[in-house]
Amino acid sequence: MRRPHVIALALIVAVVLAVFGQTLSFDFVSFDDAIHVRNNPHVFSPDFFAASFWIQPEIGYSVTLPTLTYALNHALHELEPAGYHLTNVLIHALNAALAFFLLERLGLKRPLAIVAALLFALHPVVAEPVSWITGRKDLLATSFALGALIVWLEPTLTLRRIVVANILFALAALSKPSVFALPLFLVFYDRFVAHRGSLQRAALAITPAIAIAVALGIAAALSSSLDLAIDPARAAPFPLRVFRSLGHRLASLLVPTDHHPYYLLKPATWFEPATILGMSFVALIVALAANWAFRASRAFPLVVLGAISYAPISNIIPLVHEVGDSHLYLPLVSVAGLVALGLGEITERLKPALRITAFAALPVAFIPLTLAQSAIWRDSVTLWSHELEAYPQSARVCHHLAGAFALRGEPHVALAHLERCAVDQESRVELLPSLAAAAAQARDREKYFSIMREMVEHRPDHPSSKQFRDRYGGKLPGVSR
């Protein structure tokens, strides 16, 4: 490796470690960490012959490779969260380095590739997948996806490189299905950028990768758990949902100051700002693609790569979670490359010192925003307190925050919090099951029986109400069988 590359990589890795080093003091959070790690039997003893090892039943798709890395973490340090967080940070540093190599391979000059890699490494939207242990599926999928692209973009595409690229894609697909469309970029690059043969030859070369994606998709569908990731019933109609989610994600990238573990969106409309922004952006991309000069520029392959990496999470197929910061992790590589190209054009006539200052300004400006966003994931109480500030009328968020207090060994605080939510949101009936559970954990017998009487009266069909009525109905006044 040449010395300039070593210096560039050292800078990128050092910045990532400095910014995300704080996560080593973070805990697990009550946002899927139990599903993926703490309560996942394959973390403690992987069973390669179990269907649930290949398709995670709680989420509806394959996260086999992340599960194996969690198992390795557990073998080394059991459930101490620092090691899990350190692994995430190291994978993110690797991804920033791979982004540098890929963008340089796609035609960016080395200074611009460094800037792009730093933009990718430090954008606040990456705080979620890096700071959240469960975000590892996005980190690993991106690692192997970038590796496959780098191998494929070698000047000479040999049979050995085709095999390696397909293996890397398979590993990416076993991390998260968001990479399923990536082989299409390999065909695009081989045929229209590198001009290395016929379209049929390029398509044949990616056949194993396509077969892997199809096989994993069929396996998820046959497992009857695919509806956990895809939910047409709750989604807005096509193409409204596509434009709205695109606009929302563009806003997250352009104004990266207010991010959440999940977004409680109102029903989509054609005239809301996010939908209009999404439609405008699509119109812009179509207009640029129709321009011959743009198709001949260094920006065009980046636009195509961004579109292909975004396609699986675009809501063409309606997702349960319409938007999420971790969804943008892989597409951010292309966006960072495009921004770096734009900075290069804008600063082309500046003196070298001013140009370096301009290149450094944007990544440096991201650091305080990213530090603040990462800190949200410190523990469950911090996470759900932040979410409650954004959605104070959400009974679901109130429930999660109460659960976080209970997990921290503060059931009385959880009960008091739920009582406040019930008053503030006028949602006492909805919160009655959570209130009853909190009262039981707090060992407040009088409060528990009082709440359960309300449950029997207002939610008689709830399983807890039936159990309570069967056990105590004939002994307590005010409760009938």
C-alpha distances out from residue 37 to 24, 34, 137, 240, Å: 17, 5, 12, 36
Residue 415 sits in a domain whose CATH number is 1.25.40.10
Q: Is residue 478 part of a domain?
A: no
Please give the model's pTM, rounded to 2 decimal places.
0.92
pLDDT in tens, the chain (481 residues): 666 678 889 999 999 999 999 999 999 999 999 999 999 999 999 999 888 898 888 787 889 999 999 999 999 999 999 999 999 999 999 999 999 999 999 999 999 999 999 999 999 999 999 999 999 999 999 999 999 999 988 888 788 988 999 999 999 999 999 999 998 898 888 878 877 777 777 777 888 888 888 888 888 777 655 555 555 555 678 899 899 999 999 998 988 887 888 788 888 899 999 999 999 999 999 999 888 888 888 899 999 999 999 999 888 877 767 778 888 999 999 999 999 999 999 988 888 888 888 889 999 999 999 999 999 999 999 999 999 998 888 888 888 999 999 888 898 899 898 988 888 888 888 888 888 888 888 888 888 888 888 888 888 888 888 888 887 765 554 544 4
24 and 91 housed in the same domain: yes
Closest CA relative to residue 102, chosen from 51, 143, 135, 61: 143
443 and 356 housed in the same domain: no
362 and 443 housed in the same domain: no
Q: Are 93 and 16 in contact (CB under 8 A)?
A: yes
The torsion angles phi and psi of 261, rounded to 5 degrees, stand at -60, -40
Q: CB neighbours of 293 closer than 8 A, spacing ≥ 6? A: none
Rounded CA-CA distance 118/102 in Å is 13
347 and 456 housed in the same domain: no
Q: Is residue 175 part of a domain?
A: yes
7 and 21 housed in the same domain: yes
Q: Is residue 479 part of a domain?
A: no
Number of compact structural domains in the chain = 2
Q: Is residue 477 part of a domain?
A: no
Q: Is residue 185 part of a domain?
A: yes
Domain range for residue 13?
3-375
Residues paired with 230 in a beta bridge: 319
SS3 47: coil
